[in-house]
Amino acid sequence: MQTKFPEKWIAYLLLAPSVLIVIIFLIVPSVQSIHLSFYRISPFGDRRIFKGLENFATLFRSADYRNSLKVTIIFTLSVVIVGIFLSLLLAIAANQKIKGIGFYRTALIWPYALSPAVAGTIWAMLFDPATGAASFVMKELTGLTPSWRTNGTVAIILIIAAATWKMIGYNVIFFLSGLQGIQYDIIEASHIDGAGALGRFWHITVPLISPMTFFLFIMNSLYAFFEVFGLIDIMTQGGPARATELLVYSLYLDGFRNLRTGYAAAQSIILFVFVAALTLLQFRFSKKWVFYQ
């Protein structure tokens, strides 16, 4: 049902706050970043030297930046694939009719309510090599106490696990909504036709929730690129030896610690283009596996 306004200016007035917010906090900063990316700027911002595309060329010649790109790709793929797979399994379990299911659903969702900084603090304390409860249990069970503060491989695995855990609640909400929207008659008809549990899941459930899966692919990708800064900053600060220095954290280091404003602006443009291209590719190839009917 469409709402019709007797006067067009009322509709524009209602839209104006949202449009202003987008202009002030998205359009203007984006234009400024593009402008600054062509300059070398003094640490105090009182002098600018036009360098054209030199900042972009320097980025791709930098071994540190290429390492950040590689780490970001590994991190994003792991968080998206592992997170969506585990979330779907948990959503299927949470969709069962058992006693106390409301409590279990709430317990699954609550990690998403935590801020990345709080989630990072929890995981850092749990896996502290000296005093962490999880580290103690691991030592008792395996005899090993790998330190994520000195071992890059352990650090990236721990960061992936923490980021995945943080997003699971969000994914479960949408998967659970999709599962509950499937008509029981369809499942029952396939059961009568002789389809097994695995066949019903793969050929009926998965296609019917594919729009939700596609949406979560997009949202988890954006989350892995942009929303894990607090997690990284609290737990590892990009270390050890740049093993967890994602693109967004590399941008922060150059822009706010090293005060290389033009260089950081170039990084923000490349990050935006990279994420936009990835999203467009996902939309382009989604037609082959996403079913809306």
Is 262 within a domain?
A: no
Instruction: For residue 244, report the phi and psi dihedrals to the nearest 5 degrees.
Output: -120, 25
Is 4 within a domain?
A: no
65/132 Cα distance (integer angstroms): 32
Is 89 within a domain?
A: yes
Instruction: State residue 209's pLDDT score.
Output: 87
Is 25 within a domain?
A: no
Q: Which of 1-15, 215-229, 259-273 has the lowest mean pLDDT?
A: 1-15
Instruction: State residue 74's pLDDT score.
Output: 95
Please report, for residues 37, 162, 181, 190, 260, the alpha-carbon distance to residue 250 in angstroms, rounded to integers and kept in the order given: 15, 20, 42, 51, 11
Span 60-67, mean pLDDT?
A: 91
Is 24 within a domain?
A: no
Instruction: Give just the sign of the alpha carbon dihedral 145, 148, 152, 156.
Output: positive
Q: How many domains does the chain have?
A: 1
Is 149 within a domain?
A: yes
Residue 154 is part of which domain span? 60-251+270-286
190/185 Cα distance (integer angstroms): 9
Which of 59, 67, 86, 79 is closest to 231 using CA atoms? 79
Which of 25, 159, 11 is closest to 79 using CA atoms? 159
Q: Which of 9-23, 194-208, 240-254, 267-281 has the lowest mean pLDDT?
A: 194-208
Is 143 within a domain?
A: yes
Q: Which of 21-35, 90-104, 221-235 has the lowest mean pLDDT?
A: 90-104
Instruction: State residue 234's pLDDT score.
Output: 93
Residue 123 has pLDDT above 90, yes or no: yes
Span 78-90, mean pLDDT?
A: 94
- For the domain that residue 108 is a member of, what is the CATH number? 1.10.3720.10
Span 185-197, mean pLDDT?
A: 70
Is 109 within a domain?
A: yes
Q: Are 178 and 208 in contact (CB under 8 A)?
A: yes
Percent of the chain with pLDDT over 70: 94
DSSP category for residue 50: E
Residue 160 has pLDDT above 90, yes or no: yes
Instruction: State residue 9's pLDDT score.
Output: 76
Angle at 147 between CA 255 and CA 242, to 5 degrees: 25
199/257 Cα distance (integer angstroms): 54
